């Protein structure tokens, strides 16, 4: 789609004000957009319209969808806790196809390679377009300009915000759960399709017009814990299998063995140590990538040596974090998703392994969230530029291949560190200008590369603290120059005018767009 009207936003990117026929606000700067109006208000319900004995079970998903009034043009939401093992989203659209329904908007919290099955429905018009992070094949499909309409990528918190604010109205939410009761209470900690949590479906349960709970492990009421409350659920459905266990969560998570990435991790931990971030009662968040896992291990070593502990660690949880919890190095894990079986086990066994949701952790349109309370967060990026702006969704060739996840939300932590290689496949990671701005540089504090650490000039406190360390502190321009010296000046990606996706900031404003790849 080409856009008649593009305006320059607060980070200098040209973005449309109308996307898929609806108005959107360009990014105005961090904390500048003040939402007006009220939370989205779902229709009032009455118990009189629901079975008094609480049994909401219907015979199958098709019946539930038909009873929910599935029709052309609706918005259907799913969550991604089953990751690449999800069997539900494909099933929904197979049914929609069978029923001859057209023009649906799919609103997943993320899509995975297993959803390549849906390309046929994008092509035949069953699905109009997708709003949600697109990992892999659907991202590629979209990058090639093949999807009708424009993709809209939101962070985990931004998705909650969009639903809460009524920016996205969900007609039917289909929520898969490892375990549920017939009333619709559900959790992800039990059952053969256990996914640990169901928090990404929280907004869907609270705000969707109709909510269908699907499980392959129905238990007698009450399903405890109820991560999703049955009081929001219209119908429950039992399927043979809601997910492929080995694709839902990896049996084990592995720390990187790459010496380069281990060095990055160690350098990151050394930086945190030297600048006083690792101290009694501190808090941290690291992702599930190999480097991030290694950072946690270096943190643990330093904490043992100092005889201190952390007050809390934010998950995505994994066996290394669970070990730290069980060793007493952290008081609490505040978890948003479990990345391996040990995470699921710990969430079940440990009262101080606590489930969170995009509402508690990341929703920007509330009276505060948890992100700002985290002392240090370790994140990834595909590119960083000399203004510390960072990209996490596109590669340097312009391909849209990743979602935002909680990345944008985490930028509000007290210190944000991006450990990144200076280049990948001889393409610089530190560049003049990132292909896609996902987060503004003012919130990104430290870039750790194997050839030096750059501190954002805004963080004079960190610069001061790092001054007398033996850390390899450089400027971001020095890092960029080194990268270009080795790899040469990188080429700009070759792109069409056509905008294929919009990237939302945490407050619902448009921070950047992604354009179609040239053949």
Binding site for a second copy (CB under 8 A): 30-54, 56, 164-165, 183-184, 211, 220-222, 224-226, 229-234, 281, 311-312, 332, 334, 351-352, 354, 359-360, 363-370, 372-373, 412, 414, 507
CB 204 to a second copy: min, Å: 14
Phi (first) and psi of residue 450, to 5 degrees = -70, -15
Q: Which residue is associated with the tokens 């971001």?
A: 476
Distance CA 514, CA 399 (A): 8
CB 346 to a second copy: min, Å: 14
The span from the first CA to the last CA of the chain, in angstroms, equals 17
User: Is residue 316 reached through a cis peptide bond, with omega within 30 degrees of 0 on the bond before it?
Assistant: yes
For β-strands 510-517 and 495-504, DSSP reports them as: antiparallel
Q: How many CA atoms lie within 13 Å of 358's alpha carbon, on the beta-carbon side? A: 32
Distance CA 111, CA 151 (A): 12
Nearer to a second copy, 15 or 313 (CB): 313
Distance CA 419, CA 322 (A): 23
CB 428 to a second copy: min, Å: 32
Nearer to a second copy, 135 or 205 (CB): 205
Nearer to a second copy, 16 or 508 (CB): 508
Distance CA 411, CA 319 (A): 25
Distance CA 186, CA 231 (A): 11
Could you say which DSSP state residue 44 is in?
P
CB 107 to a second copy: min, Å: 20
Q: Which residue is associated with the tokens 């209470």?
A: 185
Nearer to a second copy, 280 or 327 (CB): 280
CB 103 to a second copy: min, Å: 26
Within 10 A of 372 (CB to CB), how many other CB atoms are there?
A: 10
Nearer to a second copy, 331 or 484 (CB): 331
Judged on CB neighbours under 10 Å (0-12, 13-18, 19+), 194 is buried
Nearer to a second copy, 27 or 423 (CB): 27
Three-state secondary structure string covering 288-352: CCHHHHHHHHHHHHHHHHHCCCEEEEECCECHHHHHHHHHCCEEEEEECCECEHHHHHHHHHCCC
CB 345 to a second copy: min, Å: 14
Nearer to a second copy, 122 or 330 (CB): 330
User: Is residue 138 reached through a cis peptide bond, with omega within 30 degrees of 0 on the bond before it?
Assistant: no
CB 507 to a second copy: min, Å: 7
Q: What DSSP element (H or E) covers 427?
A: strand 427-428
Nearer to a second copy, 55 or 252 (CB): 55
């Amino acid at each position: 789609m080409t856009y008649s009207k593009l305006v320059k936003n607060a980070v200098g990117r040209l973005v449309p004000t109308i996307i898929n026929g609806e108005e959107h606000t360009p990014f105005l700067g961090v904390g500048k957009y003040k939402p007006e109006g009220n939370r989205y208000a779902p229709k009032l319900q009455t118990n009189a319209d629901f079975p008094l004995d609480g049994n909401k079970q219907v015979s199958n998903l098709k019946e539930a969808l038909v009873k929910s009034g599935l029709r052309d043009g609706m918005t259907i939401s799913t969550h991604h806790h089953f990751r690449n093992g999800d069997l539900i989203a494909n099933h929904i659209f197979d049914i929609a196809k069978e029923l001859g329904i057209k023009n649906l908007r799919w609103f997943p919290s993320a899509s995975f390679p297993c959803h390549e099955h849906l390309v046929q429905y994008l092509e035949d018009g069953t699905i109009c377009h997708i709003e949600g992070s697109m990992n892999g094949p659907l991202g590629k499909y979209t990058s090639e300009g093949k999807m009708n309409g424009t993709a809209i990528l939101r962070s985990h918190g931004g998705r909650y915000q969009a639903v809460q604010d009524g920016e996205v109205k969900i007609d039917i939410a289909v929520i898969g759960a490892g375990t549920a009761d017939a009333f619709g209470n559900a959790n992800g900690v039990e059952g053969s399709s256990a996914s640990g949590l169901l928090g990404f479906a929280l907004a869907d349960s609270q705000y969707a017009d109709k909510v269908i709970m699907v499980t392959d492990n129905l238990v007698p009421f009450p399903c405890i814990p109820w991560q999703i409350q049955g009081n929001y659920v219209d119908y429950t459905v039992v399927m043979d299998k809601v997910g492929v266990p080995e694709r839902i969560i990896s049996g084990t998570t592995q720390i990187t063995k790459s010496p380069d990435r281990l060095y990055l991790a160690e350098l990151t931990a050394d930086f945190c140590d030297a600048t006083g971030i690792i101290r009694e009662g501190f808090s941290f968040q690291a992702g599930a990538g190999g480097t991030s896992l290694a950072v946690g291990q270096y943190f643990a070593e330093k904490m043992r040596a100092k005889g201190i502990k952390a007050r809390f660690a934010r998950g995505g949880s994994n066996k290394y974090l669970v070990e730290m919890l069980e060793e007493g190095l952290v008081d609490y894990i505040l978890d948003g998703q479990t990345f391996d079986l040990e995470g699921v086990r710990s969430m079940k066994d440990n009262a101080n392994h606590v489930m969170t949701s995009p509402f508690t952790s990341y929703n920007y349109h509330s009276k505060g969230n948890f992100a700002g309370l985290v002392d240090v967060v370790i994140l990834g990026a595909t590119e960083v530029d000399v203004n510390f702006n960072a990209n996490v969704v596109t590669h340097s060739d312009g391909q849209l291949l990743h979602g935002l996840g909680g990345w944008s939300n985490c930028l509000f932590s007290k210190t944000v560190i991006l450990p990144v290689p200076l280049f990948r496949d001889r393409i610089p990671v530190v560049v003049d200008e990132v292909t896609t701005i996902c987060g503004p540089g003012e919130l990104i504090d430290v870039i750790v590369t194997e050839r030096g650490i750059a501190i954002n000039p805004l963080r004079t406190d960190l610069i001061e603290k790092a001054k007398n360390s033996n850390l390899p502190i450089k400027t971001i321009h020095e890092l960029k120059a080194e990268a270009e010296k080795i790899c040469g000046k990188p080429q700009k990606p070759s792109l069409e005018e056509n905008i294929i996706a919009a990237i939302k900031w945490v407050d619902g404003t448009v921070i950047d767009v992604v354009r179609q790849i040239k053949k």
